[in-house]
Amino acid sequence: MIIVVFGRELYIGKKILVLAVCLLFAASGIIGYTISRKNKPIVFNDTTTEKITVKEDPEAADSGADNVKIERKPENQDQIKVYIVGCVKKPGVVTLKKGQLIFDAVNAAGGTTAEADLENINMAYKLTENVMIKVYAREKKAAKPEVKGTQPESSSTKIKGAEIITDSGGAVVEDSLSEDAHKDGQGKKVNLNTASAEELGNLPGVGEKTAEIIIDFRKNQRFEKIEDLMEIPGIGQKKFDSLKDLISI
């Protein structure tokens, strides 16, 4: 085959022509494949911790800027921690997946003990966050003690056989109120100016010695207001807060 280039005649053999055509087709195929792969995410798999997805930014690609977006997907993002106590064989913290049931938490804690109140526990209750579960025994009613100090009320879901607590539960040292203080519902308030040593000693955290100090104090002066009780040695703000609903003047 003869072609004219810049006024000169050049002879091109058939083999060279065929090779040129093949190269042209190959180049076209490579260009087309590259265009079709544009903007597809490149995924790097890390089998130990997490998956990272790298996506090219189309706008950055058009402007010639080197910019990528990285998306991290932790594999443990659907895990929750459940602190289960009470009538279970292995109380403690167990790891579950979001959406698992109280049934799964109980099994992870080794199952319930013989005295657990199974008839009043909804084992199909779905767990979606870090919580504490108290599994109660049959025919036992735990009286709620008075919390010393100004702690927020616990956010909980109460059912007969178990209690689900979603916060710290007001984790403070608590004093159990005496039986006499809670007799007849809320209990009769103790008058600081007229109560006997025995009545004063039955107040939570007071005791016999402090009761005697209170009696000695009122021999010289009356309690004008209940806050005057904080003048007694050993009774500070926290102890007063636990007594103020049980005393009067």
Q: Are residues 125 and 161 in the same domain?
A: yes
Q: Are residues 98 and 145 in the same domain?
A: yes
Is residue 173 situated within a structural domain?
no
Return the CATH number at 240: 1.10.150.320
Is residue 5 situated within a structural domain?
yes
Percent of the chain with pLDDT over 90: 17
Is residue 99 situated within a structural domain?
yes
Q: Are residues 56 and 20 in the same domain?
A: no
For residue range 167-186, list pLDDT tens digits in order. Answer: 544 443 333 334 444 444 34
Q: Are residues 187 and 243 in the same domain?
A: yes
Is residue 27 situated within a structural domain?
yes
Is residue 217 situated within a structural domain?
yes
Q: Are the beta carbons of 164 and 101 closer than 8 angstroms?
A: no
The whole-chain average pLDDT of the chain stands at 74
Q: Are residues 184 and 243 in the same domain?
A: yes
Mean pLDDT of 222-249: 89
Give residue 154's pLDDT: 46
Domain ends where: 116, 131, 165?
165
Give residue 172's pLDDT: 38
For residue range 91-128, list pLDDT tens digits in order. Answer: 999 999 999 999 999 999 999 999 898 888 899 999 98
Q: Are residues 29 and 52 in the same domain?
A: no
Question: What count of residues does the chain have?
Answer: 249
Q: Are residues 193 and 155 in the same domain?
A: no
In the chain, the number of structural domains is: 4
Is residue 156 situated within a structural domain?
yes
Q: Grade residue 19 by pLDDT with cuts at 50, 70 and 90.
A: confident
Q: Grade residue 153 by pLDDT with cuts at 50, 70 and 90.
A: very low
More confident residue, 132 or 59: 132
Tell me the C-alpha distance between 170 and 152, whole Å: 7
Q: Are residues 89 and 151 in the same domain?
A: yes
The answer to whether residue 51 scores a pLDDT higher than 50 is yes
Give residue 29's pLDDT: 79
Domain ends where: 119, 136, 165?
165
More confident residue, 37 or 188: 188
Is residue 87 situated within a structural domain?
yes
Q: What's the Cα-to-Cα distance from 182 to each of 13, 134, 185, 200, 211, rounded to whole Å?
A: 114, 25, 6, 14, 19
Tell me the C-alpha distance between 249 and 224, whole Å: 7
Q: Are residues 147 and 133 in the same domain?
A: yes
Q: Are residues 32 and 69 in the same domain?
A: no
| Domain region containing 13 | 1-37
Give residue 178's pLDDT: 40
* Cβ-proximal residues to 242 (8 Å cutoff; 6+ apart), any chain: 146, 148, 149, 175, 204, 205
Query: What's the chain look like in SS3?
Result: CEEEECCEEEECCHHHHHHHHHHHHHHHHHHHHHHHCCCCCEEEECCCCEEEEEEECHHHHHHCCCCEEEEEEECCCCEEEEEEEECECCCEEEEEECCCEHHHHHHHCCCECCCECHHHCCCCCECCCCEEEEECECCCCCCCCCCCCCCCCCCEEECCCEEEECCCCCCCCCCCCCCHHHCCCCCCCEECCCCCHHHHHCCCCCHHHHHHHHHHHHHHCCCCCHHHHHHCCCCCHHHHHHHCCCEEC
Question: In terms of Cα–Cα distance, which of 74, 80, 75, 70 is closest to 101?
Answer: 80
Give residue 169's pLDDT: 46
Q: Are residues 84 and 158 in the same domain?
A: yes
For residue range 208-220, list pLDDT tens digits in order. Answer: 888 899 998 888 8
Amino acid in position 184: D
Domain ends where: 114, 141, 165?
165
The answer to whether residue 62 scores a pLDDT higher than 80 is no
Is residue 189 situated within a structural domain?
yes
Q: Are the beta carbons of 128 and 107 closer than 8 angstroms?
A: no
Mean pLDDT of 30-56: 61
Judged on CB neighbours under 10 Å (0-12, 13-18, 19+), 21 is exposed
The answer to whether residue 192 scores a pLDDT higher than 60 is yes
